[in-house]
Amino acid sequence: MRDRRAVVICNDIATQVNPAEGDASELWLTTGDLTRATRLELKPQGVCLDEQCFPLPDSLNDAQFIRNDAGTTFFNLTAFARLLRQSVARENGPEISAWYFGARQDQRQELESCKAPDFTLPDVSGKMHSLSDFRGKKVFLVTWASW
């Protein structure tokens, strides 16, 4: 039996991993590959990204998300993406598969509105202008920082 190979693209970073054998529509990764590819860590409180944790339904032993094979813990990244309503695209090739994980639902809400917050700033002569004054018009904003 040869090792399966896959590329996981998450947060616009591609990482080669060795997924577990099984259903080609599910991506089971070792906890090490999970962290390398997504920065997610499996912890007692759930699946965590830095200090933000996503609790798993029922318990960490839920077979939908976690399984142990020969002393190695595997995590089902596709099941977790479904839980978070995260878009997933895959291509299963003869030698390697590719998996793309898009923005989670909580990340997309900011992008879907496409509405900039209103703010008011002075121009070079000191006259105040609000972004809402230009509603319906094209606006080109130039910003910079001195640090």
Domain boundaries in the chain? Answer: 6-109
- Cα–Cα distance for residue pair 106/84, rounded to 1 Å: 8
- Cα–Cα distance for residue pair 20/25, rounded to 1 Å: 12
pTM over 0.75: no
Q: What does the pLDDT look like over 9-66, one tens digit per residue? A: 998 889 999 998 878 889 999 999 999 999 999 998 889 988 889 888 875 457 889 9
